[in-house]
Amino acid sequence: MKSVVISGTGLFTPPNSISNDELVTAFNQYVELFNAEHADRIAAGELAALEPSSSAFIEKASGIKSRYVMEKAGILDPARMTPRIKERADDELSLQAEISVAAARQALARAGRTPADIDMVLVAASNMQRAYPAMAVEVQDALGIEGFGFDMNVACSSATFAIQTAAAAVQTGQARAVLVLDPEITSAHLNFRDRDSHFIFGDACTAMVIEAADTATSAHQFEILESKLKTKFSNNIRNNFGFMNRFDEDGIGQPDKLFRQQGRKVFKEVCPMAAAMIRDTVEGAGLHIGDIARFWLHQANLSMNQLIVRTLLGRDATPEEAPVILDRYANTSSAGSIIAFHSYQDDLPSGTNGVICSFGAGYSIGCVVVRKK
């Protein structure tokens, strides 16, 4: 089987950052306005009063300290609490395509490749900004890439599922090189009025160039040794927004049309699944957990990552073994593990083994074992 490598990575980070303190100030102002407006119903026991949030609560619950977003003012406006981004005309480059192009150019540069070297574009993310045409085809056009492109969605595991899809395309000769993009504008699906989740997500876009090892020339190449994918249906992370919402007017604008989760159940059920998946994939590569020097894990919750690696190693991981970007990026869905991979790879010597693992709604888990060449 042809050897395949990740030969370049890229990252687009939005220009706006929101600290926990800023987010909490806006949320608590909204709570005060809501409770004042509905004071009579609250007093009568017809409606529950909303509870304020705090920065200490957010950091303890998640490990998040700040997040990057495409637009800040609308989120921090207690009367709106939604990003304020003007809709673009059909003949303008879409926002999701724009950030994909930015991340792609960086990945291409690191890989030492040009658009002429790419045969396939794969956009993999939790949410696409439209149903069609595919975002990947628009990105392909914007970059001037010949060949083909398509979109895929496996929620927070989209990037790892895309790695295996891209590697298979290279191995079978369908593409010389594949450009994988994870444009996550998660601020669009987050309910900033929900105390339990208003702090979770941030926006970002990652990119990877995946090609045959015998053609790669970049300074930092990671051979894909083994990959495994797993899905198991669960309603514990769900978003009911879709094109059929207009069938029933009563559901339009309801909270279930945004992100929602049963966090405790997710924690309890996903952590052992992810740990078992990592162990299985590592063994499938002919390695042992002790052979793995770095774990680039999905960045959803710090305690989840700590528990998963502790289960595998039998001890707490060092910051070098399991790097964290969650504190400043928050949960960027499928982009999270790739941000960690992009940010913490150059220091590794040749021959080092690592694991990229993501897990999320579905449930879906993707695990990729790599070795630096």
Any idea which residues carry the catalytic annotation? 156
Closest CA to 373 of 217, 227, 228: 217
277, 357 in Cβ contact below 8 A? yes
Bridge partners of residue 16, in order along the sequence: 69
Q: What is the distance between the alpha carbons of residues 23 and 44, in angstroms, rounded to a whole number?
A: 30
1 is written with which tokens?
């089987």
Q: How far apart are the first and last CA of the chain?
A: 17
* Integer Cα distance of 303 and 327 in angstroms: 12
Q: One-letter amino acid identity for 98?
A: E
Question: Among 126, 159, 81, which Cα is nearest to 238's?
Answer: 126
Task: Return d(Cα 14, Cα 332) in angstroms, integer.
Answer: 12
Give which of 169, 309, 282, 296 is closest to 227, Cα–Cα. 282
Q: Give the CA dihedral 99, 97, 66, 32, nearest 10 degrees.
A: 140
Task: Give CA separation, 80 vs 1, 30, 73, 75, 77, in Å.
Answer: 54, 9, 9, 7, 5
Rounded to whole angstroms, the Cα distance separating 208 from 147 reads: 17
Give the residue from 79, 36, 27, 101 showing the smallest Cα distance to 57.
Answer: 27
